[in-house]
Structure 1
Amino acid sequence: MGNRDRTQPRQFRPELERDYARSPDLGYEAAESAGFVSCLAHGFPTPLARWHYHDEYELHLITSTSGKAFVGDWIGPFKPGHLVLTGPRLPHNWLSLDTPDEGVEVRDLVIQFQREPLLHCASHIAELSELDALLERARHGVEFFDMGERAEQHWYRIKSAEGLRRLTAFLDLMCDLAACADYRLLSSVQLQSTGDDESIDQIHAVVSRITDNLSEPHSAAAVAAELGMSESRFSRFFRKATGNTFTDFVNRVRISRACQLLMDTEQQITHICYEVGFNNVANFNRRFLELKGMTPSEFRKQSLARFRDVRTG
C-alpha cells in the first residue's frame, strides 16, 4: 500500500468486514461453497491485516512470525501457536514485526462461524449448551495456551471436509476449546454467573450504573445501602459475581473505557483521565500501568501501529 493521504483524517474506528469484500483471491472460501463454518488461510503482508470486526465468531491461529496483537482494548505479543477466539463485533488485528522482505505465505489459519444459527440450534439441542460458557467468554476474546498444534490439526481436518463431515469436525474442535482450562480473557471485564435471576439482575443494575456514569464517584457502601445489604455482605456478593472487589472492578471498567478513548480518539490523556472518573493523573497512570503493563501514552503509541502501512510485496 502507498502512504496514507495525510490530508485525510486518521480512521480510528475499526472497519466492518462485509460479505462482498470476502474475495477468494484473498484466501476466503467461495460464498457458494462455504456454509455455517468457513475456513481462511492467508500470509503476511495482506490487506486482511487491519483493525476490523465482523458479525461472526472467529478462531484465529498464528503459524509464523511474531508481533503485536490487538483484541478489543487488549494489546499483547503473539508468536507461532497463538490461538484466540473472538466474539461477534469484537475488533481485532495481528501485526507482524519480524516479517522477512519476501513476506510469508501462510501466517494465519482462521475459522469463522455464524452466531444466529448456532444460538437457534442450541435452543433445540441440549448438548450444545456445553458451548455456552465458551461463547460467552468469546465476547472478550479468549487466548488458549498450548493448543496451537492441536488447533492446526483441527483446522486442516475441517478445511478438507464438506457438508455434515465438516460440521462434525468443527464440533470436535469446539469440544476441545470448551474443555480447555488454560486460557485467559483479553479485553475488558467479565461477569460470572451468580446462580439465580434476582442476583444477576442486581449485579447487572450495579454494573450498568458504573458503566453509564463513569465520571461519578462510586462506593461499595452507597451501593450496599441501596440494595439493603451490609457493606461486607455486598462485598462478598459482588466479588462472587465479578471475580473482583468493587473498587478493582470500577478501576477495570474505567481503564477499559480509557483504552477505547486512547485507541479511538485523539483526546488528550489528561482529559481522558477525568472523563473516565479518576480525580488525578498520577493515580490514573498508576492504575493503568497495573492493569495494562504500560503507561497510557505507551498504549496509545502501540495502538497506532494498527494503522501502519502494510507492504503488498
Structure 2
Amino acid sequence: MKLHSLDRSSLNNSSFTSKINEYPYFLKVWHYHPELELVVVLKSEGTCFIGDSIDKFESGDIVLIGKNLPHMWLNDDNYFQENSNLSAKAIAIHFRENYLGNGFFETPEMIHLLELFNRAQFGIKFLKINKRLIQEIQTMLELEGFDKSIKFLMILNQLSKHKDYKLLASHGFINSLKIAENKTLDKVQAYIFKNFNKTITLQEVAQMAHMNTSAFSRFFKRVNRKTFSRYLAEIRIGYACKLLIENKYNIGTVSYESGYPNISNFNRQFKLIMNCTPSTYVKEHIK
C-alpha cells in the first residue's frame, strides 16, 4: 500500500476547507497532507489507522489529525459486500497551523490553540463528546466568511479545553516522521500496515530499505525506539483488540486474523503487550 501525499488546500478563497463526505464506504487510501484535519464521523464504523495506532471508529467520533501524519479510514467488511445499503458519512475540515496568518496563534489569547495543534501531531481522539458540539460543527458548514471563521475558532477553543481525550500515534512513530529523507520509512511502514496480518520477516523489510538486516535493525530501533519485532507485534495486537471489542469472532479466529496462526504465540504476545490475556481483555471491555 503506497503512502500518498494529497492536496487539501482551499480552492474557494477561504482560509480553511470544510465539507461533508458521503460514500458507500471511505476510500482505502493511506495518505498524509500538510494541513491538519478535523474529522467528525456522522455515520459508519470501522478501523482508523493513524500513524502506528489502530483504533475502532464509529458514529459520533471526533478526531484531530496533525499535519503530515499518515492516516486511513477503513470501514468494516460488511460495507464492501455486494448490494450493501450501508454508507459512510463524515465532516472533514482541513486547515494549516497558520491559516489565520503567521504569529496569530502565538499571541497570549490564542496560545492554547497552538498547544492543541502541537498535540495533534500524534492524532487526538476526543472522548465523551457532547452531541451539541457536533451540531455546532454542522451549523458552521452553513455559514460563510467572517461568521464561519469565528465559529470555527470557537469550536477549536472548545476542543482545546476538552480534557477527556487520547493521543493515538506513538512518540517513536512521530520521531520517525521528523527524520529527513524518510521515503524509505514511508515505504516500509506502508508495507507493514498492508501486510501486518501476514508473515513479515526482518530480512524482507531490510531488503526493501536496501540495508542488511543488522544495519536496518539498528536504524529501525533508533528511529522508532523499539525493535522491529515489537513494532509489528504492537500493530497486530492493536488490531486484535479492535476485533475482540467488536465481539464478532472467537479468540482463535482473532488470533489468525491478526497474523498469529499459532494461538499459543498469540496469547503470549497479547499478554506481553497488554499485560492480560485475551479472555481477560474481553471480560473487561465487553459488558
TM bin, normalised by shorter chain, reads 0.5 to 0.7
Question: Normalising by the residue count of structure 1, what TM-score does the alignment of the two structures yield?
Answer: 0.57
Q: Which structure 2 residues correspond to residues 267-278 of structure 1 after superposition, within 5 A? A: 268-271=200-203, 275=217, 276-277=220-221
Task: Pick the aligned partner of 1:16 from 5, 27, 30.
Answer: 5
**1:85-119, Cα deviation, whole Å (9 max, x unpaired):** 00111111212214371342x61111111223346
Q: Residues 279, 90 of structure 1: CA spacing in aligned structure 2 closer, same or farther, 3 A cutoff? A: closer
Task: Pick the aligned partner of 2:134 from 122, 146, 152.
Answer: 152
Alpha-carbon distance between aligned partners in 1 of 2:27 and 2:190, rounded to the nearest angstrom: 22
Q: Which runs of 5+ in 1 are unaligned?
A: 1-11, 23-29, 191-206, 213-256, 301-313
How many residues are treated as equivalent by the alignment?
Answer: 216
Moved more, 112-121 or 66-75: 112-121
Q: In 2, are the aligned partners of 1:61 and 1:148 still within 8 Å (CA)?
A: no
Alpha-carbon distance between aligned partners in 1 of 2:39 and 2:227, rounded to the nearest angstrom: 39
Task: Pick the aligned partner of 1:182 from 121, 141, 164.
Answer: 164
SS in 2 for 1:135: helix
Q: In 2, are the aligned partners of 1:67 and 1:79 still within 8 Å (CA)?
A: yes
Task: Pick the aligned partner of 1:64 from 40, 43, 59.
Answer: 43
Question: Normalising by the residue count of structure 2, what TM-score does the alignment of the two structures yield?
Answer: 0.61
Q: Which amino acid is the alignment partner of residue 21 of structure 2?
A: H
Task: Pick the aligned partner of 1:263 from 157, 176, 193.
Answer: 193
1:52 deviates by 1.6
**1:154-179, Cα deviation, whole Å (9 max, x unpaired):** 22221111111111100110011000
1:73 deviates by 1.1
SS in 2 for 1:117: coil
Q: Which runs of 5+ in 2 are unaligned?
A: 180-186, 206-212, 241-254, 261-287
1:263 deviates by 2.6
Q: Which amino acid is the alignment partner of residue 31 of structure 1?
A: L
Alpha-carbon distance between aligned partners in 2 of 1:189 and 1:78, rounded to the nearest angstrom: 22
Same amino acid, percent of matched pairs: 22
Alpha-carbon distance between aligned partners in 2 of 1:53 and 1:121, rounded to the nearest angstrom: 25
Task: Name the counterpart of 1:141.
Answer: 123
Alpha-carbon distance between aligned partners in 1 of 2:147 and 2:156, rounded to the nearest angstrom: 14
Task: Name the counterpart of 2:84.
Answer: 101
